[in-house]
């Protein structure tokens, strides 16, 4: 896979020995979480690599292989998973290209035109480059959110230190 198709681990802090579980205590799991731009811009709080965060996640319905989980700041919903507390190991801004097919009024993702930009802190606002260029008039590029690697402890084997949100 190319750099455009995989998440970077270049901004992952070194392991903290104090975070290491003793044998038999808890296993660790890395969840790849998509944090949509509109979720952050609406009511999110920027976070950085190394921060502990508590988020409400649900398994994605999208077939995208880059992430299995999505964050929601809106709920609670009966279908929501328990909230999860974890350590942010990496953050990458997801940049996606879009095009408007001839005769259409809507844009669609351009397959393979995706890039990840590693950052230390998730931005509050994401950039959009509307319109196109002279050679690609029906094309634009947008930062659609952040791909986050979240390390969680799983003492119960279910995938997180869960606390029920009410």
Cα–Cα distance for residue pair 22/166, rounded to 1 Å: 32
Provide the sign of the torsion angle of the four alpha carbons 136, 119, 29, 72, taken in this order: negative
Chunked into runs of 10 residues, the chain (166 residues) has average pLDDT values of 39 48 69 95 95 91 84 67 87 94 89 93 88 71 95 64 36
Q: What is the pLDDT of residue 79?
A: 52
Strand partners, 97: 141
The whole-number pLDDT of residue 58 equals: 87
Q: In whole angstroms, what is the distance from residue 9 CA to residue 92 CA?
A: 9
- For 153, other C-beta atoms within 10 Å of its C-beta total 19
- pLDDT for 166 equals 30
What local confidence, expressed as pLDDT, does residue 74 receive?
76
- Residue 50: its pLDDT value, please? 98
Provide the pLDDT for residue 6: 38
What's the confidence (pLDDT) of residue 35? 96
- Distance from C-alpha of 125 to C-alpha of 143, rounded to nearest angstrom: 9
Its pTM stands at 0.73
Q: Between β-strands 128-129 and 139-154, what pairing exists: parallel, antiparallel or unpaired?
A: antiparallel
């Amino acid at each position: 896979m190319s750099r455009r198709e995989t998440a970077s681990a270049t901004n992952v802090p070194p392991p903290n020995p104090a975070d290491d579980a003793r044998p038999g205590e808890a296993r660790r799991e890395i969840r790849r979480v998509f944090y949509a731009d509109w979720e952050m811009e609406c009511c999110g709080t920027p976070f950085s690599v190394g921060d502990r965060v508590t988020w409400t996640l649900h398994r994605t319905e999208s077939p995208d292989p880059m992430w299995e989980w999505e964050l929601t700041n809106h709920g609670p919903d009966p279908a929501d998973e328990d909230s999860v507390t974890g350590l942010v190991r990496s953050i990458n801004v997801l940049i996606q290209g879009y095009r408007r097919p001839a005769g259409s009024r809507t844009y669609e993702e351009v397959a393979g035109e995706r890039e990840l930009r590693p950052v230390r802190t998730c931005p509050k606002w994401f950039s959009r480059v509307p319109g196109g260029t002279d050679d690609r008039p029906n094309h634009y590029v947008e930062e659609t959110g952040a791909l986050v690697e979240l390390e969680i402890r799983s003492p119960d084997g279910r995938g997180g230190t869960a606390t029920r949100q009410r």
